[in-house]
Amino acid sequence: MDFLLSVIGYAVDLGNVWRFPYICYQNGGGAFLLPYLLMAIFGGVPLFYMELALGQFHRSGCISIWKHICPIFKGIGFAICIIALYVAFYYNTIMAWALYYLLSSFRPTLPWTTCSNSWNTANCNLYMSTDHNVSWSNSSTSPAEEFYTRQVLQVHRSEGLHQLGSVSWQLALCLLFIFTIVYFSIWKGVKTSGKVVWVTATFPYLVLLVLLVRGATLPGAWRGVVFYLKPDWQKLLSTTVWIDAAAQIFFSLGPGFGVLLAFASYNPFHNNCYKDALITSSVNCLTSFLSGFVIFTMLGYMAEMRQQDVGSVAKDAGPSLLFIIYAEALANMPAATFFSIIFFLMIIMLGLDSTFAGLEGVITAMIDEFPQLLSKRREWFVLGLVCVCFLGALSTLTYGGAFVVKLFEEYATGPAIITVVLLEVIAVSWFYGTNRFCNDIHLMLGFYPGCFWRICWVAICPCFLLFIIISFLAFPPEVRLFNYHFPPWTTALGYCIGISSFICVPAYMVFYLLTAKGTFKERLLKSITPVPSGDQYREYIVTNAV
């Protein structure tokens, strides 16, 4: 049970709450569930199962495991660690924003409900105002939008990525507090983090249930549900829908970040990782679907109060959906303070679980690779890692920090991690060999994977990942945030950030072939010959999604 909560806490993150509902209604509502489920069955779940089985059998982190699979691909492990650091640079900043909202929720009046604050402009108007003399224009903004953009982010004080401005000391303190929690949760390993799993992994579900029940009783909730689920079957003819479905299930389940390998490496050798993969994947998909109802009942309520279409209310995606639209909906409900507190506390806990997991993946990988140097100095290593993450996140705390977050989100993780996982599945299925891999699973579980899993690992999963990569290159996303369009040079910068992690793979291949002993043929043969796994044993079983 502890392991399941661990992996669920990692896989269920902020993206389940904001990304899936938005992508679902944008791509045909209920019709989107068909490509989503197909991509999950033939792509996401097989990859998820593969990583759990690899980690549990070889009992190694994402770097040292490659000597047991295909040594020349060891650069994949280093690339994964770099990508995990990039994620830590921006992901925790979103939690800092949520913490700012949480602290602001303890005021007598929620500050994003009025236009009389120091940060408000003349364009601020109350959408929920009963004053029929209020006039609206295209330049009108809500108090929730101005609180988010002008008080929390202070993005109006930055001209863009070329001039980010100073660091916001309020957000810096919030982020410092977040990283302090992170450090004291993982500094001793899973022995300490296991004490918080029952809260961090289960509390978000309690809050989602409370918000769902409350949202369903609000006027106009049905409008949001209809808008969310009404199928548009014509959308299925668009390749964009299938691209979004593939990307969503991939990033939702989260293979390729080293976390699943690390968690599974602490499991008992005969643990049923097959069952774990199916249960966790199912819970993840159902959570995304449930989150859609939580979000869209509120959006339907907002549309009813504003006397607008739901589509006009649901125009914001990403964090704006949570920090502007949803925050405003909560603020205009009875017991607004209570619901605001539990909502933003849920956002923080969802983020903490994933941050714990991402950093634990890096820690396990580095300690396994350099045991003599780090195994007895875990506390100091974790402290150094957390400090690096905090310093790396400083650019996201500037007045233009939201632009940096967007840049990292679009380029630093997406294409790089998909390419890394493509190489990973090729190395396992084609070099290590599906037959050998299935024999490993038989030794652990007592049965061989069926033909479906073999076909997925050998052919369907590589095609699934290649499809996402080609789609990204052929149809690069137009990156914009608020009214700021990212200039062309940021695309080149984004690709450089992405390549900076992936370059570890070919670089290590060259390094290995140059430094190995023997003739070139002998070195090449050695580079693809796995070293048998020893009878390794972890001192403790993983107990948290951290």
- The angle formed by the CA atoms of residues 441, 249 and 2, to the nearest 5 degrees, is 55
Q: Which helix (H) or strand (E) covers residue 481, if one does?
A: strand 480-481
Longest dimension (CA), the chain: 85
- Is 544 annotated as a binding-site member? no
Amino acid at 461: C
Which residue, 297, 308, 253, is CA-closest to 276? 253
- Is 350 annotated as a binding-site member? yes
- Is 264 annotated as a binding-site member? no
Query: Long-range contact list for 426-431, CB < 8 A, 24+ apart?
Result: 426/462, 427/66, 427/69, 427/70, 427/73, 427/76, 428/50, 428/54, 428/69, 428/70, 428/457, 429/457, 429/458, 429/461, 429/462, 430/458, 431/69, 431/70, 431/73, 431/528
- Is 284 annotated as a binding-site member? yes
Query: For residues 110 and 343, is the Cβ–Cβ distance under 8 A?
Result: no
Q: How many CA atoms lie within 13 A of 524 on its CB side?
A: 3
Three-state SS for 243-262 is: HHHHHHHHHHHCCCCCHHHH
- Is 12 annotated as a binding-site member? yes
Instruction: Give the separation between CA 489 and CA 360, rounded to whole angstroms.
Output: 34
Residue 515's contacts (CB-CB under 8 Å, 6 or more residues apart) are none
- Is 354 annotated as a binding-site member? yes
Instruction: Give the separation between CA 78 and CA 95, rounded to whole angstroms.
Output: 26
Quote the tokens at residue 116. 């009389």
DSSP classification of residue 311: H
Query: For residues 236 and 31, is the Cβ–Cβ distance under 8 A?
Result: yes
- Is 320 annotated as a binding-site member? no
**SS3 at position 160:** strand
Q: Which helix (H) or strand (E) covers residue 474, if one does?
A: helix 461-474
CA 505 from centroid of its chain's CA atoms:
23
- Is 16 annotated as a binding-site member? yes
Query: For residues 514 and 506, is the Cβ–Cβ distance under 8 A?
Result: no
- Is 353 annotated as a binding-site member? yes
Query: Residues within the annotated binding site for Na(+)?
Result: 9, 11-12, 16, 252, 284, 350, 353-354
Query: Residues within the annotated binding site?
Result: 9, 11-12, 16, 252, 284, 350, 353-354
